[in-house]
Chain A
Amino acid sequence: MRTELVWKVGGEQGEGIDSTGIVFLNACHSLGYYTFGYRHFMSRIKGGHTNYQVRCSTRPVYAVGDQTDILIAFDQESIDYNFWELPAGAFIIADGFGAKLPEERGVTLAEVPLTKIASDLGNSLMKNMVAMGATCELTGLPVEPFQTFIERQFSRKGEEVVKANLEALDAGREYVRERWGQQAHFKLADSGMSPDGRLVIEGDYAAGMGALAGGCRFLAAYPITPASMIMEWLAVNFPKVGGVVIQAEDEIAALCMAIGANWAGARGMTSTSGPGFSLMQEAIGLSGLTETPVVIVDVQRAGPATGLPTKHEQGDLNEMIYGSHGEFPRIVLAPGTIEECFYAMADAFNLADKHQCPVIVAMDLYLGMSRGTAQEFDLSRVHIDRGSLISGEGLAALKGKYERFENTPSGISPRVLPGTPGFIHLTTGDEHQFDGRITEDPKTRKEIMDKRLRKVSEVDYPGVSLTGDAPADLVLIGYGATTGTLWEAADRLNAAGTKTAVAQLTRLWPFPVQELEAAMAGAGAALVVESNATGQLAHLIRSQLGGDLLPTLLKYDGDPIRPGEVEVRCKEVIADVSGARIA
């Protein structure tokens, strides 16, 4: 019996492909399986091919499946576009008749008049339910979760709608039962688990929830794929806790508003993707020079310029670390799973307050927009630390000698909020003295620059998360959504006898030199895996650790890296290394 089933629905954008995928994913979740859902879409409202792939597994899954077992195809394009990933034994449930397979290789074309069956039952939109029924029959998946969904979703629309949808589900099952019946090779082992203690959620939503949990109450942002979901989630949920979402006229304004809000004492943030992040560059330096905390989320997409706005890439690493003119301290965090999106956001505000600098949270489209199984967020892990923010009784100790940018050993100065009687000061993006007043004095300039840069000499946030035993034959290095892909590839390599570890960079700046060195110590080889064309992470590692540029797996065609691709590249790297040893 198989432990995993990969299912995909494809069709024209605008005909409910995403929601169909989510219904299937949620059903798998309710049956106790681990899930991962990936949305392939284009930058248009209607038309064009879109698909949603769902992995349903008895083990945790973090990546797009290498192959698809069952494809629901609402049109020929869905077959043509996805045929390459269908192995022998796969089924295509095609809507209606006349579809063509690009080649003969053991893929079954199961033509089911999904739309016609739905229309005959009263509404062509129910074709999705017919398809769900067909899937249940082919795979032997229980039908109950779909019935529950129908009852919950449509009860408001009346009994007739519920009844018609249930009939559509049954009709799909019946049609398949009469012609193909249950296919034994699709039979999925029982999960043996309950969904209790788990969520199914997208990384963007988890990030929004983490921000809210971390005391953030202000978001200024401009809509942009793939970051809008953070804004949309907070627009719904901030009002429940007194928070504010403001839609800015552009990303320059968005970051400036967030900086203003932080200056006034709020925990404030902005969320964006590459084009918006580029617009924010000047203001990132304003946060840096004025020592005003702010949290910026960059959900990366394929650039440059407008690039591939709905496709995955990790091309902003250099910009996150080096972007903006001049020099100032910053922290760049990189969550790699849905859970980590939640915790990293909550922590980001503590770091911003503590170090009084911009904190950038590096996400990517694959992480932000993919829906998958996550362990329920452990709320006891969230704490709030506002660092050297002084208020109330603490103010008495500062009275009379207050300097907003006092030159302390740690570089971190006591912060008093505007509105406090007796502590009036200027915060300026011009270079300034320790009391805040503008200066061009060379000695002061050097001292206050040193003070600022000193603030991040120690950052209490893990830089590397190592999975697997050291020393390994092979260490896979990556960050963001690539992490889960590396875990899956490492599992397969370990099972095949290559001792493989994964070094996930959870903090990209200040760069965790010692932690990465420790993770790589004694390893036979290392491979840097990232979604860009120039190997930004590999170059960063070389600049920080020295030595040769590490071997890379780079992918920049807009699609995420699949575990199988990593596996293939790993074998090449290992072969290269063994070859070198023999020589």
Chain B
Amino acid sequence: MSAALVSPKSFVSEERPTWCPGCGDFAVLQALQRASAQLGLQPHEMAVVSGIGCSGKISSYFNSYGLHVLHGRSVPCAIGVKLANPNLTVIASGGDGDGYGIGGNHFLNAIRRNIDITYIVMDNQVYGLTKGQTSPTSAHGYKSTTSPAGSAENPMHPLRLALANGASFIAQGFSAERNQLIDIIVKAIAHKGFSLVNAISPCVTFNKVNTYDWYRERLHNLDDDKTHNPSDRGVGFNKLIEHGDLVRGVIYAEETPSYDEYLPGYTGASLADMAKPTERSVLEKMMAEYR
């Protein structure tokens, strides 16, 4: 596929986004569109599988085959899509509640499998679509309608979890740093295996604490950090601990065999093409074991 022929506009659907003006999700959508164009992908070659929440709407706005599923379930659905048709470029997406709360188990296990999908989590540390409740990444003490006295829970550390569980590609981007976010998504899609992009995507309506300015003041750019080494898991941990997870850039990336390479008999062809009568001799042989 020739990279020059695809415009980011090819990935813009007819649906008009209903996100609040200023929502960080706009930039994530645009970054995915630009990254896809840069990679020379065609819309029909892609499948965007999204969960529920503001983030889940991305499959409506991104022009490709889209599968908009249940709350928290974009990752297992995307895994099924990818294994069934490895020719598709599969993007799973969700938010911090969708992916780290209700879908947390899938997140942890998808990492272990290293299936070749890219998981983009739009993290705003709040439940937006349901109008401002505490999320798994909300800070301890965060006040919301469901934690009026301040959240008693410590936030989840998805990036550290991903590192610990052996993820082969982990990055964090920021909606207000669009070029870096595009670059991260390009690398994530190109990465063979499971790639996690935690995209900090501020909620301008419900999260009055973790605002664009709040992040700008705190985010440490790993691209400018000469002591960072994305091929060293230990360095990645140290950077996250040192900066309280507030870093941007590729935290860790390693080339390692993806899931399908360990699957016995897997051909890499679409399973749709195999939904045909099974050769009689094969079935006869299977039956013979029970004669």
Contacts and interface: CB of A to CB of B under 8 A. Distances in A.
Given A200-B290, A418-B85, A424 B64 contact: yes
B206 to A, nearest CB: 21
B275 A419 contact: no
Contact of B81 (A199, A212, A242, A260): A260
Interface string A413-442: 000011111111111111000000110000
A265 B163 CA distance: 33
Interface in B242-291: 263-267, 269-272, 274-278, 280, 282-284, 286-287, 290-291
Interface string A192-214: 00010011110001000100110
Contacts of A267: 271, 275
A217 interface: yes
B152 interface: no
Contacts of B280: 379
Main secondary structure of the interface of A (DSSP, over half): mixed
Nearest to B115: A246
A281 to B, nearest CB: 11
Contacts of A253: 73, 75-76, 79, 105-106, 109
Interface in B75-123: 75-85, 87-88, 105-106, 108-109, 113
Contact of B80 (A215, A220, A379, A426): A220
A350 to B, nearest CB: 10
Contacts of B270: 264-266, 419
A260 B80 contact: yes
Contact of A256 (B73, B85, B113): B73
Contact of A238 (B68, B265, B269): B265
Nearest to A209: B286
Given A242-B267, A253-B76, A253-B105, A421 B44 contact: yes
Contacts of B235: none
Contact of A282 (B70, B106, B287, B290): B70
Given A217-B271, A426-B59, A377 B287 contact: yes
Contacts of B59: 426, 428
A216 B47 CA distance: 22
A179 interface: no
Given A419-B44, A419-B87, A217 B68 contact: no
Given A418-B47, A428-B66, A259 B80 contact: yes
Contact of B70 (A199, A268, A283, A424): A283
Contact of A437 (B60, B109, B271, B284): B60
A335 B269 CA distance: 32
A218 B84 contact: yes
Question: Which of B69, B80, B276, B283 has the most chain A CB atoms closer than 10 A to its own CB?
Answer: B80
A246 B83 contact: yes
Contacts of B77: 256-257, 259-260, 263
A124 to B, nearest CB: 29
B23 interface: no
Contacts of A254: 76
Contacts of A237: 286
A430 B68 contact: yes
A270 to B, nearest CB: 10
Given A218-B271, A428-B68, A246 B290 contact: no
A383 interface: yes
Nearest to A420: B44
B232 interface: no
A425 B65 contact: yes
A256 B76 contact: yes
B274 A215 contact: yes
Contact of B84 (A200, A265, A386): A265
A261 interface: yes
A215 B276 contact: yes
Question: Which of A254, A384, A428 has the most chain B CB atoms closer than 10 A to its own CB?
Answer: A428
Contact of B272 (A195, A257, A266): A266
A477 B176 CA distance: 67
Contacts of B282: 240-241
A200 B291 CA distance: 6
Contacts of A144: none
Contact of A265 (B44, B78, B113, B275): B275
Interface string A170-200: 0000000000000000000000000100111
A242 B269 contact: yes
Nearest to B18: A438
Contacts of A450: none
A261 B271 contact: yes
A161 interface: no
B81 A243 contact: no
Given A199-B291, A209-B283, A260-B78, A418 B88 contact: yes
A573 interface: no
A217 B85 CA distance: 12
A237 B288 CA distance: 13
A251 to B, nearest CB: 10
A99 interface: no
Contact of A418 (B65, B108, B267, B287): B65
A48 interface: no
A250 B105 contact: yes
Given A243-B271, A249-B106, A419-B45, A429 B69 contact: yes
Given A244-B271, A265-B271, A424-B44, A218 B88 contact: no
B125 interface: no
B79 A426 contact: no
A363 interface: no
B193 to A, nearest CB: 16
Given A212-B278, A427-B68, A257 B79 contact: yes
A256 B47 contact: no
Chain A to chain B: the 10 pairs with minimum beta-carbon distance, closest first: A260-B80, A265-B272, A239-B265, A266-B271, A418-B65, A428-B68, A256-B76, A264-B84, A266-B84, A257-B80
8 contacts: A239-B266, A244-B83, A249-B108, A418-B47, A418-B65, A419-B87, A427-B68, A428-B60
Interface of A: 195, 198-201, 205, 209, 212-213, 215-218, 220, 237-244, 246, 248-250, 252-254, 256-268, 282-283, 286, 290, 349, 376-377, 379, 382-384, 386, 417-430, 437-438
